[in-house]
A and B are shown apart, each in its own frame.
Chain A
Amino acid sequence: MTVLRSASIVMTAVLASAVSDARAQQPQEPPTGPVLQWLLNSCGVIEHPRELVDLGALGPRVVDELIAAFASGPTARMTAEAEEAARERHARRRALLERGTGLGLSAADVALASQVSRERYVAQARADFEHRYRAEALRGLAAVGGAPARSVLTGIAADSTSPFQATARTSLERLRSP
């Protein structure tokens, strides 16, 4: 949530306006179909044409959905699922660290990993997920293109305190021409 707050505070006027509009227009239902697939996707390998998500073909409403996704982050249910998966991973991780063999890690790395509590691990996983979800929304804006998308991305890219600055800059470079 620290990330969310700091991002909100430093938003430029343009971004704040766009996000505010998006909140007003935000659909009650969370994203589904191609937009959700885009927001959760984390691998750049494309082996099959059916994997390509053409957000631009979905029309202008996608911009609103993506801005809303950036502003709101994942739904509570998605976050809860990500936390549950992190808890399961941590339990398995702890068992491996207690065994200590067959990991390939140096003793120092094992010691470092052993210091991570379940709470810290799950909190980090949650923060990462929320960040990833919102960063993918910015990438989506670049894929859709157009003036509203450019305006949002420009605002974030100019903000040196935003944790999304690098993503916004890269997205601007990839932005479709308006």
Chain B
Amino acid sequence: MAKTVKQPRHTVPYRHRLAYRINCGATAAALATGLAGCGEETTEPPPPPPPPEVQVSIGGPDTLLFTSLFDGVQLTATVTTSDGSAPPAVAWSATDGRIVDVDDTGLAVSVGNGSAAIVARASDAADTITVTVAQVAAHLEFLGAPADAVAGATFVLPVRVVALDSLLNRALNFTESVTLALHANPVAGTLGGTTTVTADSGLAAFTDLSLDSEGSGYSLRAAATFDTVTSPEFDIVSGFDMVRVHNGAGSSIGLLLDGRLGSRFLNDSGLVLTDSAAPVLFKSDSTADGEIAAFTPGRPPALLPQAAWSGGIDTVDITFPDKIGIPVTVWIVKGPFGQQQARAIDASLTTTAVWEDEGMGLEFSEFEIIDATADPDGPAIYNVTTCQQQSLAEATIGKRSGRINIYYVETVDGGADRGYTCVHFRGGDIVSGGDVIFMAERSGHDLLAHELGHSFGLTHIDFLTSTFDRTNVMHSASNSRRYFTEGQVFRSFFDSYTALRSLYGVTVSDTRPCPPFAFDLGCPSIDKRLWTDGIRPANWE
């Protein structure tokens, strides 16, 4: 399969040919006057040798077939030169990067169904091989457990079966039929609806299934020509429990639910509702762990520590608190006052937007801005290095009690861009949200929401990068903070140490010492999301 692209044949340039004829040919006499030394032995240098001919050959067969996505083959290319000189480097490329990707070392990776070529090029020589990617479905899999359903009614959530290739990527070219049947059938129920579905892009969705008999421990079996698979167990119940939400402000309501369903423990199972009353898709039989936390834009979260679930079909009511107003005082210590006043106002507006949109349900009842630029004690805290200067600021500049005080200075922690919340620690954990914040003269508009997050007991999430990006409010290194997770909102209100409780007297029905990150002690994980945050998807399923 080796191919050679020959270089153009190298010829002696015309002026060299002319010189040769003059030196050695009969016409020399006619030009002798202008060509002293004619007739002597020529000293003209010989023409440069032609560049060597280069050959490139990709090892292995001429064609390459991938039956799975994200499969890789290491290609090698041999480069030779006609004069044995050092061969030029090989550059690898693919004619369609949507089909196959090849890196600088020749590692080819399948990325999409179709055909393309891989080219190895060295100088003007090249070799190619043809690559075909055609996924072959090898496995079936249920996308999650079938949701519990009501006897005789169409399943609320469709049952979905996906075809996978041998490397467990969804077989996007699979369009054959998949058939469902009952596998475990504890009470001789009958499966209704369309049970054979043609897959679309590897996914078969069964949207109108029903089962006629209540029972616990049903399962389904899905079959295609190449595989069969059995689903996790699910239940058919007489009805669903309901949650009815009161005093909501937005059309989207998120719930985190604990409870039990049969023998299964449900911890922080999530739902997003668009109605004030909606089925929660399970029927709990225990009040022991029946907590409900509710979230919605424009309202603080609501917590019902012990939902009154019974063995029957229940409707539980939960009420959002009204929006909570908190006063703050801003001291502009380092001027120009007008410039820093504008900066503080911008920071307050950005904070208000985050609080409203992210289900914090907070608002500034007063955002007081005081001009302290003429204070003779001001220069002593222009450059704040530690919170040891907190007491100095309070004593010399001033402090309003019962609220968070924010001091705009020149630099914080050595930087003109930085902020610092004076929180209190014990064993590495925040034990008290602080009531003093220092902001530097160039601090970003999004930084105040971050520092107030510290006051509310929240910690940085930088080293949890797999579940957070820079758009989260509590990222320490960002210019685009916007989002809180529901795990963070929960902690802001229900953690034992938040300033919302210690300073502003916000009372909630229950508090708990949440661990900063993990889910434990009755708190959801810090990265629990009911709605998508920036590029991060919801993760409550």
Contact = CB atoms under 8 A, between A and B. Distances in A.
Interface of A: 36-45, 47-48, 50-51, 81-82, 84-86, 88-89, 92-93, 96-97, 102-106, 109, 112-113, 116, 121, 125, 128-129, 131-132, 135-136, 139, 142, 164, 166-167, 170-171, 174
Nearest to B439: A42
A9 B423 CA distance: 41
Given A42-B447, A48-B460, A105-B364, A81 B480 contact: yes
B363 A104 contact: yes
B346 A113 contact: yes
A128 B415 contact: no
Interface string B424-449: 01001110000000000011111100
Interface stretch (B75-83, B392-400, B406-414): B406-414
B487 interface: no
21 contacts: A39-B477, A41-B418, A42-B450, A43-B476, A45-B454, A47-B428, A47-B430, A51-B463, A82-B480, A85-B479, A92-B350, A104-B352, A105-B364, A132-B416, A135-B442, A139-B414, A166-B416, A167-B411, A167-B414, A167-B415, A167-B416
For B346, B357, B367, B451, the residue with the greatest tally of chain A CB atoms inside 10 Å of its CB is B346
Given A43-B450, A103-B348, A171 B414 contact: yes
B349 interface: yes
Contacts of B41: none
B31 interface: no
A61 B412 CA distance: 27
Given A113-B342, A167-B411, A93 B353 contact: yes
Nearest to A121: B346
Contacts of B423: 45
B300 interface: no
A42 B348 contact: no
Contacts of B443: 42
B434 to A, nearest CB: 9
B194 to A, nearest CB: 44
Interface in B338-396: 341-342, 345-346, 348-350, 352-353, 357, 363-367, 369, 382-383, 385
B350 A93 contact: yes
Contact of B415 (A51, A86, A103, A139): A139
Given A48-B459, A135-B415, A139-B415, A43 B451 contact: yes
A124 to B, nearest CB: 8
B327 interface: yes
B353 A89 contact: yes
Nearest to A126: B479
Contact of B417 (A42, A86, A106, A142): A42
B95 interface: no
Contacts of B353: 89, 92-93, 96
For A86, A121, A171, the residue with the greatest tally of chain B CB atoms inside 10 Å of its CB is A86
A46 B503 CA distance: 22
Contacts of A106: 369
A43 B350 contact: no
Main secondary structure on chain A at its contact with chain B? helix
List 4 A-B pairs, minimum CB-CB distance, nearest first. Answer: A104-B364, A132-B417, A85-B480, A44-B413
A135 B417 contact: yes
B325 interface: yes
Nearest to B364: A104
Nearest to B357: A92
Contacts of B364: 103-105
A112 B341 contact: yes
A162 to B, nearest CB: 12
Given A92-B357, A112-B341, A166-B383, 10 more contacts: A42-B443, A42-B447, A43-B460, A86-B445, A92-B353, A93-B353, A104-B352, A113-B349, A132-B416, A136-B417
B10 to A, nearest CB: 36
Contact of B444 (A47, A129, A166): A129
Contacts of A170: 383, 385, 411, 414-415
A42 B441 CA distance: 12
B467 interface: no
Contacts of B367: 103-105, 109
B473 to A, nearest CB: 11
A135 B416 contact: yes
A149 to B, nearest CB: 13
Contacts of A104: 325, 327-328, 348, 352, 363-367
Contacts of B419: 42-44
Contacts of A82: 479-480
A53 B450 CA distance: 20
